[in-house]
């Protein structure tokens, strides 16, 4: 791993660890605080723009939801932009874990790094257990 990649991963973890803690504690406003004011957010429901939409999304999630992420790829697009591609398991207390892929774009702001774009993709498993990219 080169230094550029290591720096990008450190930046990603700095933001994502705070996001994860807020999701795990069901703190929607704290989760939204890790996003830019004008963030484009696409979870498993129709997209929203801005922190109020992010907070509403996480507020609608059931208590007990937890997130475990693994960084798959990262790119430093410029001094103030970091792209991340992740695998995330969202676990629930009353139903099976949902495995998704997450693309995020972090932007450095006057107050630190924040998520400017959050895009979830869910790949269905076919009958052989292989991932399928069939449209949902």
Distances in whole angstroms, Cα of residue 61 to Cα of each of 5, 27, 136: 33, 10, 21
pLDDT of residue 1 exceeding 80: no
Greatest CA span in the chain, whole angstroms?
A: 48
Domain assignment present for residue 87? The answer is yes
Domain membership of residue 18 as a residue range: 3-118
CB atoms within 10 A of CB 4: 11
Query: pLDDT by residue (tens digit) across 9-27?
Result: 999 999 999 999 999 999 9
Q: Is residue 20 part of a domain?
A: yes
Looking at the domain assignment, is residue 133 inside a domain? no
Q: What pLDDT was estimated at residue 45?
A: 84
Q: For residue range 52-102, what is the model confidence (pLDDT) as tens digits?
A: 999 999 999 999 999 999 999 999 999 999 999 999 999 999 999 999 999
CATH code, domain with 22: 3.10.450.50
């Amino acid at each position: 791993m080169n230094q550029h990649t290591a720096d990008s991963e450190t930046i990603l973890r700095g933001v994502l660890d705070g996001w994860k803690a807020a999701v795990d504690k069901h703190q929607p406003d704290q989760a939204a605080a890790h996003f830019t004011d004008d963030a484009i957010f696409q979870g498993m429901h129709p997209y929203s723009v801005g922190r109020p939409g992010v907070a509403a999304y996480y507020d609608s999630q059931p208590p007990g939801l937890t997130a475990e992420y693994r960084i798959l790829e990262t790119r430093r697009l410029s001094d103030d932009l970091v792209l991340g591609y992740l695998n995330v398991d969202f676990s629930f207390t009353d139903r099976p874990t949902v495995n998704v892929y997450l693309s995020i774009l972090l932007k450095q702001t006057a107050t630190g790094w924040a998520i400017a774009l959050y895009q979830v993709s869910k790949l269905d498993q076919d009958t052989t257990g292989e991932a399928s990219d069939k449209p949902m």
